[in-house]
Chain A
Amino acid sequence: MNLIDLQIKKIKRNKQLGLMVHAVVGYPTQEKSEMLIRSLINRKVDFLELQIPFSDPIADGPTIVRASEKALKRGTNTDSVLELIGKLRGDIHIPVIIMAYYNSILSYGLVKFCRKAKKLNISGLIVPDMPPEEEDRERFIQTSFEYGLYPIRVVSPSSSKKRLEINTRYAKGFIYSVSHFGVTGSGVKIGNDLVGYINEVKKTVRLPIAVGFGIEKKEQVEKLNDIADIAVVGSAIIRNYEKGGLNRLKLFIKELKEGTIY
Chain B
Amino acid sequence: MIFNFKTLYDGDTCGHFGQYGGRFAPKGIFSFQTSYDGDRNGHFGQYGGRFAPEMLIPALEELENVYIRAKKDREFEREFMSYLTGFAGRPTPLTFAANLTRRLGGAKIYLKNEGLNLSGAHKITHCIGQAMLAKRMGKKRLIAETGAGQHGKAVATVAAKFGFECTVYMGERDIERQRPNVFWMQRLGAKVKPVSFGTKTLKDATNAALKDWITNVHDSHYLLGSTVGPHPFPSINRDFQSVVGMEVEEQVKKIEGKLPNYLIACVGGGSNSMGLFYRFLDKKSVRLVGVEAGGRGVSKKGGHAVRFSGGKKGVVEGYKSVFLQDRYGNLSPTHSVSAGLDYPGIGPQLAHLKNEGRVQFTYATDREVLAAFSLLAKTEGIICALESAHAVAFALKLAPTLSKNKIIVVNLSGAGDKDIFIIAEALKDKEWIEFLKGKSHL
Contacts and interface: CB of A to CB of B under 8 A. Distances in A.
Q: Which of B53, B203, B215, B218 has the most CB of A within 10 A?
A: B53
Contacts of A61: 211
Interface string A132-148: 01100100000000000
Contacts of A158: 54-59, 217-218
B317 interface: yes
Nearest to A59: B53
B328 A77 contact: yes
A54 B43 contact: no
Given A103-B325, A129-B315, A129-B318, A54 B217 contact: no
A156 B214 CA distance: 10
Which of A102, A103, A156 has most B Cβ within 10 Å? Answer: A103
B202 to A, nearest CB: 12
Contacts of A131: 50-52, 54, 57
B41 interface: yes
Nearest to B218: A181
B217 A58 contact: no
A102 B315 contact: yes
Contact of A62 (B197, B312, B314, B316): B197
Given A54-B330, A108-B328, A167 B54 contact: yes
Interface residues of B, number: 40
A56 B328 contact: no
B316 A103 contact: yes
Contact of A106 (B52, B59, B197, B329): B329
A129 B197 contact: no
Contacts, number: 125
Given A55-B330, A137-B43, A182-B214, A69 B198 contact: yes
B120 interface: no
A262 B56 CA distance: 34
Given A129-B318, A131-B52, A78 B328 contact: yes
A181 B57 contact: no
Contacts of B211: 58-61, 183
A133 B319 CA distance: 13
B318 to A, nearest CB: 7
A181 B330 contact: no
A131 B56 CA distance: 11
A65 B215 contact: no
Contacts of A72: 330
Contact of A107 (B207, B210, B216, B314): B314
B426 to A, nearest CB: 29
Interface string A181-199: 1110010000000000000
A107 B51 contact: no
Interface string B384-400: 00000000000000000
A129 B214 contact: no
B53 A56 contact: no
A181 B215 contact: yes
Nearest to B231: A133
Interface size bracket, A side: 35 or more
Interface in B289-331: 312-318, 323, 325-331
A107 B329 CA distance: 5
A46 B57 CA distance: 30
Contacts of B203: 56
A66 interface: yes
B115 interface: no
Contacts of A79: 328
B84 to A, nearest CB: 32
A60 B43 CA distance: 26
B66 to A, nearest CB: 15
B329 A54 contact: yes
Nearest to B312: A107
A178 interface: yes
B232 interface: no
A154 B217 CA distance: 17
A79 B326 CA distance: 13
Interface string A161-203: 0010001000000000010011100100000000000000000
A29 B53 CA distance: 28
Nearest to A103: B329
A201 B49 CA distance: 26
Given A134-B50, A154-B53, A183-B214, A58 B318 contact: yes
Contacts of A55: 198, 330-331
Interface in A44-82: 54-62, 65-66, 69, 72, 77-79
Contacts of B312: 107
B20 to A, nearest CB: 42
Given A77-B328, A104-B329, A154-B53, A59 B314 contact: no
Interface in B325-354: 325-331
The 3 nearest A-B residue pairs measured at CB = A107-B329, A55-B330, A103-B329
13 contacts: A56-B204, A58-B207, A77-B326, A78-B329, A103-B323, A131-B54, A133-B57, A134-B41, A154-B53, A156-B55, A158-B56, A158-B57, A158-B218
Given A58-B318, A134-B50, 10 more contacts: A55-B198, A65-B197, A72-B330, A78-B329, A102-B315, A107-B329, A129-B315, A137-B49, A158-B57, A158-B218
Interface of A: 54-62, 65-66, 69, 72, 77-79, 101-104, 106-108, 128-131, 133-134, 137, 154-156, 158-160, 163, 167, 178, 181-183, 186
Interface of B: 41, 43, 49-59, 197-198, 203-204, 207, 210-211, 214-218, 312-318, 323, 325-331
